Structure 1
Amino acid sequence: MEATHRVLVVDDSEVDRENIRRLLAPDYSVLEAASGSEGLGLCEKERVDCVLLDHRLPDVEGIEMLHDLVERELPVLMLTGQGNEALAVEAMKRGALDYLVKGQLQKAGLRRSVKNALETSGMRQQIARQEAELRQYVKELDEQRESLQRSNQRLMESEARLRVVFEQLPALAWTADRELVLTSLAGEVARRTEAPPWGSRVERLFGGGAPTDAHMQALDGNSAHFEVTLADRVYDAHVEPLMTDGDVSGVIGVALDVSRARVLEQQLRHSQKMDSLGQLAGGIAHDLNNVLTVISSFAQFVKDGLHPQEQAYGDINEVLRAASSAENLVRQLLTFSRQRPSQPRVVDVGELTTNVTPMLRRLLGETFKLEVSIPDAPHTVYADAGSLEQVLVNLVVNARDAMPEGGTVTVEILREMVGNEPCLDLEPGAYVVLAVKDNGVGIGPDVVERIFEPFFTTKDQGKGTGLGLSTCYGIVQQARGMILVETEVGAGTVFRTYLPESSGVPETERRPSAPPAAAGSETVLVLEDDPQVRSLIARVLTSHGYQVVETESAKSAQLAAERTSKDHFALMVADVAVPDGVGSEVARDLKKLHPRMEVLFVSGHGGGALRARGVSEEDTVLHKPFTAGELAKIVRKCLDRRSRDV
C-alpha cells in the first residue's frame, strides 16, 4: 500500500521515534523531530497530516506546543511515558484528539488512533469548508437581498418620479385590451380633460374615426399615428400593439401636446406668405417709383412753363395730384414690405396718443365715442414717430368702419411682459401694447387670415384701398413688433400692437434747417440704369448749372472715372441697384480714383433693404419718388459738405 499520509513524530527519544515508525510502516510516511523547534520547522517546510507529540521536550513543554499545532489545524495525538489523567484532560481541552501512553502502544491501537485522528481532522476540515462555503453563500444571499432591496427602492423612487413628471407633462398615456377597453390612463391631460375612467372604451376618450382606425391597426400588429383635439389642444398620438407571449393582447398609446408647434407652423406659413407678398409689393413699388419720379418731375417742368390762367395749367395740377396719390400708395406698399425709409427715435407712445387724440375725435365724428386710457408713466419705444401715428390712425379708422351705426372705440396703452407664449412670435421681454378695440361686427375666421394682405379689403368698391392694415403690419414689423387680432363675429375686435419697450429718454423731433442754395458749377457723375430717371436727373442738375456725365452701368461709370483726372468728379449720384453691380460697391471703387468725391445714393427702398445693399446710416440717400427741387437741394448740400472738408 502506498504511503499517502505523513505523520510527524516529535519526541526527544530516538527509541520511541523508531518504535512508532515501525508500528506505522509501511502505511504511513513518518517524519521525525527531536525537539519542538525542529518539529515546528518541519511543519513549515513539509506537508504534515498528523502529529504525535511527546508532552516533554527539551526546549518546550508539549502542552504549550500543542497550541501552535492546533492553530495550524493539524490533528495532534499527545504521547506520554506514563498515564496521567489530569494531563490527558488538559491536552484534550487544548485540542488534542487522543492521549497515548508510549509504553502501551500496540500496532493496531496506534494505527486506529492515527486513522481516527485523520478522519476526524478530515471531517473537521470538510465541515469547516462547508461552513465557510455556507457563510459565503449566506453572505452572497444577504448582499443580493440588499442589492435587490436597493434596486427595488430605486425602481420605486424612479417610478414615483416618472409618475410625478408624467402627470405634469402635457401628454396622455393609455393601454387598452383587445376589445379597446381602457385598462390604464395617465397624464396631465387625463385630469384636465375629465377623461373617462378605466373600463371605458377608447371612443369615449378620442371619439370615432381616425383614432379608432389607428387602434384597429395596432390590434393587427402595426404602428399607427393620428391627431386629435382634446380640451382645445392638439395632440399627436402614436399607438403600438401590446404584446404578451408573442401575441397581441391590446394596445399602448402616447399622445403629446403639439399645440404650440402647430401655432408656430401656422405663424411660419403666414410669415412666409407675408414675406413673399412683401417682396412682390416692394418690387412693384420700386418700379412705380421710377415711373412716378419721371411723371411728377416732368409734369412740374411743364407746369413751370405755363401761366396760371392757361387751361393746361389746371390740367397739369390734376396730373400732379394724381401722381401724389399714387406716390402715397407706393409709400404704403413700401411700408408693408418694410422697405420704407424711416427715422426711428425713442418715442413715448402715451404722449404720441395724447397729441393725436383731437384728430382721432374729428375722424370718428359725433356718432362715435372715443375712450382713451393713457398711463401716467412714460411708455417708450424705439420707432418712427410718424409711422406709429399712422398705425394708430389706421386702426381707429378701421374700428370706425366696423361700426356703421356708430359705437365706442377704446384706445389703451399698457406694458406687458412676454414670455414664450406660442401665440406671440416675439422675443421674451417687456413690450408696450397699443390696443384699439371696437364693439362692431367682428371679423370672420376666413377673413381674419387675410386682413394684412395688401389690397385685400371687405369694404365696398371705392371705400378702401386695402392697404391700411397692411401698412400697419409693415410699420410694426419694421419696429420688431407684431399685431395680434382678437375678434368674434358680432362681438367686436381688438387689435393689440406689441412694440419692444425702450429704456431711452424720448427725443424731440428735429426741425429741418433752412435749405441751402441749389445752384452750382461742379461736375457730377450720374449712375442710373433707368433712362428716364437718368435723363430727369441730368436735366435737373444741368438746369442748375452743373456739368453732368451720364452712365447706365457700373462698367460705364468705371470707364468714365478712369478717363478723367483725379477728383474731376465732385459728386456721384448713384442708384443703389444697377444691373451689373451694387451702387455702394461701385462708389467705393470710384472713390479710389476720386478720393474727394461725395456720393449721393438714390433708391426706392429703405431700412433693411438699403443695409443689405451696403448703404450705411451715415450715407446720404435721396428716396424715390423725389421732386426736382428736392434733388437740387440735396445735391447742393453734399457739395457744400465737400467744400467744408477741404
Structure 2
Amino acid sequence: MALLLRLFALVAFALLPGIAIQLYNEFDLRFSHQMEVQELALGLAKLAAAEQQQIIQGIRQALIALSELPAVKAKDARGCEAYLSRIKERYPGFINFIVVDMNGDSFCDSTSDYKPSTAAGRAYFANVLKTGKFTVGEFAHGRATGRNVLHFALPFYDDDGHMGGVVIAALSLDWLARYLEQKGPPPGAALAIRDRNGTYLARYPGNDQFVGRRIPGDHYLHSDHSGTTTARDIDGVERIVGYTALQADAGEIFVTFGVDKTLAFSQIQRRTRLGILLIVLGTSVVLALTWFGARRFIQHPLGQMVDAANQWRLGDYAGRVHIRDKGSEITRVADAFNTMADALANREHELHDAKEKAEQAAARITTIFESTTDCVLIVDTEWYITYLNERAKAQLAVGYDLIGMNLCEIFPDWTDKNLSARAHTAMSERNSASVETFFRDVWYAVNAFPSGEGIVILFRDITEQKHAVEARRLMEEQLHQSQKMEAVGQLTGGVAHDFNNLLMVISGNLELIESRTADDECVRRLAVAARKAADRGASLTAQLLAFSRRQKLNPKTIHIDALIRDFQGLILRALGDRCKINLVADDQLWPCHLDPAQLETALLNLALNARDAMPDGGRLEIEARNITLHEDAIAGVASGSYVQLSVTDTGCGIPQDTLDRVFEPFFTTKEVGKGTGLGLSMVYGFVRQSGGHVAIESSVGLGTTVSLYLPRSGQMSDLGRDIIQLPDIAAGSGRVLMVEDDHDVMDVTSAILRELGYEVLCAQDGAEAIRILRDNESLDLLFSDIMMPGGISGVELAREAKQLCSGIKILLTSGNAADALSRHGAEGEFPVLGKPFRRAELAQYLQVVMGTA
C-alpha cells in the first residue's frame, strides 16, 4: 500500500473518534440546550415579573401617598387636581389619576379638561369597596379616552377613619407595550403580560394584533407557581414558555416569556456545523449584547426611581432612590420605595433559602420513595391514602387509583390482622411499629413510621426469604437426621466388627470341639447348640452391618418384578390368612444392580412389620414402577432413573413424633420381646449401600408406606460372581502364613488350618509377616486379617507379599470386610472371607483361591 494511502487511512481512522465525539456532543448539546432554554425562559419571565412587581408596588405606594393627601381626604377638587396633574406629568405612562366617592362618581382627576366620570359597575371598584384593599383590575377599554388601560385602585379614609372613596390610577397598556418593546426580546421570543382571565395586557411582538385577546386552554396560568412548558403561542409559533405569577398582593397578573423552539434549535445546528470557533464568537456576541442591553435598561428615561427599580429587578437590593427635593410628597414615595426594597431584600433571601431547602428535601424524599423496591404508602390521621409509590401502585393498587381512598375500605381484612393494631399504635403514640403479615398470597415485612401528616407504611416482600428460611430448616433437619444415622451406623459397624472376632473364637472352638468329640454324643450335642447360638449372633451382626452399610454385598443385575413373583409365596406364608396381598408392577421395569438375597430379606422384613401392624388383618400392596427424579425432587437424592418399590399396609400407622427414629437400630414400637428393632435398620443400610434411598409415610389409623428408590442399571446380564460351593470338605496341603492380631482368633483359626492339612506359620502384625515372607520364599498362601495395628494393613501386606513372593496366593478376612476394603481402595482386588466363618467355608475358600477346587 502506498504511503499516501496509508496516511489517508490513518487520518480517516483518527477522525473516527472525533466524529463519534461530535455525534455524542450533538445529542448531549441538544439536551443541555433544551434545559438552558427552559431556564432562560423561566429566568427572563421571573425578571420581567419582578420588574412588573416593582412597578405595581410603586403604583401602590403612590396611591397610598395620594390617599393621605389632605385635599383627597377633604375632597378638595381644586387642590386635588393640581397635585394629580403634577403626578401625571411626572409619570407619562398613566392616562389618568382619578378620585371617586363611594358611589363611584369622580370629583377629581389629572386631566386639564376635567369631565365627570363614574367607576360604578367596574369590577375593580366593587372589589376595593368590598375588601378595602389595594386592587388590580383587568383589561379594560377606556370609556372616555378610548384607550386600553389597566386600573389600580386603593380606598382613602377621612379623618374619622371612614372610607371616603377610592383613588384610581389608569395605566396605559400602550405605554406598557412600548416598555416591553424597549426591553428588546431576542428574535423569535415573545414577552407577554396577562391578567387573571388570561387576556393579553401587553405583548411583544404583535401587541396591536393580540392585546385584549386570550388563548383558551392555558391551564398553567391558573397555578400559583412558576414553571416551563412547550405550547403553541397565539401567533401559531411553537415556543418553550417560562411562566410565573406575580405575588398575590400585586394582583393576579402573569408574565410569560416564550422562545421560538425552531429558532432555539437552529442555533444548535449552526453551532454543530461551525464548530468551536462559532461557539466562542456566539458567546462573545451574547455577552456584548447583554452588556449593551444592560446599559440601555439602566439609562432608561424613566428617571432615577425606575433605575433603582431596575437594580432591584436584577437582584441588587443595595440600590436606593435619592431625591433632591427633600420634604416633598415624592420624597415620601421614595422613602416608601426604599423601605419596600429593604423588606423585599430580606424576604427574597429568606424565600430563596427556604425554597431551595424545601425543593431539595422533597426531591430527596421522592427519589428515595420511587427508587425503593418496597411498597410505600402515606396515610393521614383519618386513614386516607395520600401517596403511593410506583411499586405500591403495581403490587397493591393493581391498576386502581387509591389516592384519597380509605385504607380500611380498600383492604377489608386490614382490621382483622395484627398489622392494624400495630399501625394504630404507631399513629396514636407517634412511635414506629413493625410486623410480618401474609397478605394476598405474599409475605410482607410491614414497618409503620409516624410522619407529619399521619404515618408512612412500608410493605417489603419477604416471601422468598420466608421460603428460603423454611427450606433451610427442612435441609437442616434432613442433614441432622442423616448425620445421626451415619453416626449410629459407624457405632454399630464398629460393634459388629469386634463382636465378629468374638464370634469367630467361639464358633471356631465349638467346631473343633464338635469334630473332636464325635464319640461323646452329649458333649457334641452341647457344642452343636452353642454353635447355633453363635450363628444367630453372626446373623445379628450381619444385620448391624447392613444398617451401617458395611456388609459385603453380592450384587447382580436383576429384574425386580421377577424377584417379587418368585418371592410372593414366602410373603404369603409370612402374612397368614388374615392379610391379603396385591402385587402391582409396571410393564418393562428397568433392571437394577443389587444383591437379590438382601432385597428379599428387606421385603420380608417390611412384610413382617406390615403383618404386625395389622393384627386383625388387612391389605398389603407391593408396587414397583419406573420413576425419573429431577434435581431437588427429593432432598439428598441425586437426579436420575430409579425403580420405586413401595410396600403399603392398612395397619395402625406410626405417630409423627416417632417417625424420624424408625430407621435407628434397636428402635421398635413393638412390645418387649417381639422385635429386635433391626428390621428397618437393615433395610435402610442395604438400600443406601446399593446407592438408593428410603422414604416412609404414615398416618395413624390409616397405614404406612415404605418406598425404596433403587437406581436403574444399564447392564442386562448377571455380573455377580459366587464362590463355588463344594459338597464335601477335602483335605488341603501347602504352607500358609496366617497374620492375625487377636491371639484367640489366631489360635482357633490356626488349629482349623492344621486340621485341614495345611502347614501354618503365624504372625501378629504386618512387620513380622514381612520378615517371615522374606525368609520363606516357598510359602503358598497369605491368610491375613485386613485391619491390624502397627501401621501395615492386610491390604498393604498382601500387595507387599505379591512383590516378595511372585507365586503366592492371597486370602483376606475381616469382621467388617466391605468397610475395610473401601478404606484402603481395594474393592475387588483380593478375595475376602468375612468373620465369623465356618470351618467348611474356610476350606472351600482355600481350595478356590489355591486352585485345587
Structure 1 position 568 matched with structure 2 position 775: no
Which position in structure 1 is the counterpart of 2:584? 373
- Which one of the candidate residues 499, 514, 524 is aligned to 2:736? 524
Structure 1 position 472 matched with structure 2 position 650: no
8 Å CA contact 2:554, 2:721 repeated in 1 = no
Q: Structure 1, residues 437-460: CA drift from partner, whole Å, max 9, x if none?
A: 111111101111100000000111
Distance 2:270 2:655 in 1: 79
Mapping of residues 476-515 of structure 1, within 5 Å: 476-505=687-716, 507=718, 513-515=724-726
Shift of 1:468: 0.3
Distance 2:617 2:439 in 1: 40
* SS of residue matched to 2:851: helix
Q: Which amino acid aligns with 1:605?
A: N
Distance 2:603 2:782 in 1: 40
Q: Structure 1, residues 313-353: CA drift from partner, whole Å, max 9, x if none?
A: 22222211211111111000000000001011111010000
Q: Which amino acid aligns with 2:479?
A: L
Mapping of residues 194-593 of structure 1, within 5 Å: 199=411, 249-253=456-460, 254-256=462-464, 257-258=467-468, 259-307=470-518, 310-505=521-716, 507=718, 513-515=724-726, 518-562=730-774, 564-565=775-776, 567-580=777-790, 581-593=792-804
8 Å CA contact 2:692, 2:709 repeated in 1 = yes
Distance 1:539 1:354 in 2: 45
Distance 1:243 1:208 in 2: 14
| Cα 1:178/1:506, change in 2 over 3 Å | farther
8 Å CA contact 1:372, 1:411 repeated in 2 = yes
Q: Which amino acid aligns with 1:535?
A: D
Shift of 1:607: 3.5
- Which one of the candidate residues 805, 820, 827 is aligned to 1:616? 827
Which position in structure 2 is the counterpart of 1:77? none
Shift of 1:622: 0.5
| Cα 1:556/1:361, change in 2 over 3 Å | same
Distance 2:508 2:744 in 1: 11
Shift of 1:300: 1.2
Structure 1: where are the runs of 5+ without partners? Answer: 1-122, 141-161, 167-172, 191-195
**Greater shift after overlay, 569-578 or 278-287?**
569-578
8 Å CA contact 2:432, 2:448 repeated in 1 = yes
Mapping of residues 121-136 of structure 1, within 5 Å: 135-136=267-268
8 Å CA contact 2:647, 2:706 repeated in 1 = yes
Distance 2:753 2:420 in 1: 77
| Cα 1:342/1:359, change in 2 over 3 Å | same
8 Å CA contact 2:729, 2:840 repeated in 1 = no
Distance 1:523 1:203 in 2: 92
Distance 1:496 1:138 in 2: 83
* SS of residue matched to 1:457: coil
| Cα 1:393/1:200, change in 2 over 3 Å | same
8 Å CA contact 1:380, 1:503 repeated in 2 = yes
8 Å CA contact 1:286, 1:604 repeated in 2 = yes
* SS of residue matched to 2:800: helix
8 Å CA contact 1:380, 1:506 repeated in 2 = no
8 Å CA contact 2:376, 2:456 repeated in 1 = no
**Greater shift after overlay, 616-625 or 372-381?**
372-381
* SS of residue matched to 1:578: coil
| Cα 1:439/1:174, change in 2 over 3 Å | farther
Distance 1:279 1:346 in 2: 28
Distance 2:739 2:268 in 1: 98
Distance 1:455 1:318 in 2: 26
Shift of 1:187: 8.0
Distance 1:458 1:612 in 2: 35
Q: Structure 1, residues 86-137: CA drift from partner, whole Å, max 9, x if none?
A: xxxxxxxxxxxxxxxxxxxxxxxxxxxxxxxxxxxxx99xx99x95776429
Q: Which amino acid aligns with 1:569?
A: L
Q: Which amino acid aligns with 1:367?
A: R
Shift of 1:419: 1.4
8 Å CA contact 1:585, 1:614 repeated in 2 = no
Q: Which amino acid aligns with 1:626?
A: F
Shift of 1:312: 2.3
| Cα 1:589/1:277, change in 2 over 3 Å | same
What is the TM-score with the length of structure 1 in the denominator? Answer: 0.64
8 Å CA contact 1:241, 1:252 repeated in 2 = no
Shift of 1:493: 1.0
Distance 2:745 2:440 in 1: 61
Which position in structure 2 is the counterpart of 1:118? none
| Cα 1:208/1:405, change in 2 over 3 Å | farther
Distance 1:242 1:569 in 2: 90
| Cα 1:186/1:198, change in 2 over 3 Å | farther
8 Å CA contact 2:589, 2:626 repeated in 1 = no
Q: Structure 1, residues 349-380: CA drift from partner, whole Å, max 9, x if none?
A: 10000000011111111111111113332332
* SS of residue matched to 2:624: strand
| Cα 1:524/1:307, change in 2 over 3 Å | closer
Shift of 1:606: 3.9
8 Å CA contact 1:452, 1:469 repeated in 2 = yes
| Cα 1:618/1:132, change in 2 over 3 Å | same
Q: Structure 1, residues 185-205: CA drift from partner, whole Å, max 9, x if none?
A: 9889x9xxxxx9964677956
Q: Which amino acid aligns with 2:745?
A: V
Q: Structure 1, residues 561-620: CA drift from partner, whole Å, max 9, x if none?
A: 23x04x332211111111223221122223322222222111122445422223231311
Shift of 1:557: 1.8
| Cα 1:208/1:300, change in 2 over 3 Å | farther
Distance 1:133 1:185 in 2: 38
8 Å CA contact 1:426, 1:482 repeated in 2 = yes
Which position in structure 2 is the counterpart of 1:18? none
Q: Structure 1, residues 220-260: CA drift from partner, whole Å, max 9, x if none?
A: 779x898x999999x8x767777989x98334432321343
| Cα 1:356/1:232, change in 2 over 3 Å | farther
* SS of residue matched to 2:663: coil
Shift of 1:390: 1.1
Distance 1:382 1:535 in 2: 39
8 Å CA contact 1:584, 1:614 repeated in 2 = no
Distance 1:298 1:428 in 2: 50
CA RMSD across the alignment:
4.4
Which position in structure 2 is the counterpart of 1:69? none
8 Å CA contact 2:475, 2:635 repeated in 1 = no
Shift of 1:424: 4.3
Structure 1 position 596 matched with structure 2 position 807: yes
Mapping of residues 67-86 of structure 1, within 5 Å: none
* SS of residue matched to 2:696: strand
Aligned length: 475
* SS of residue matched to 2:539: helix
* SS of residue matched to 1:426: coil
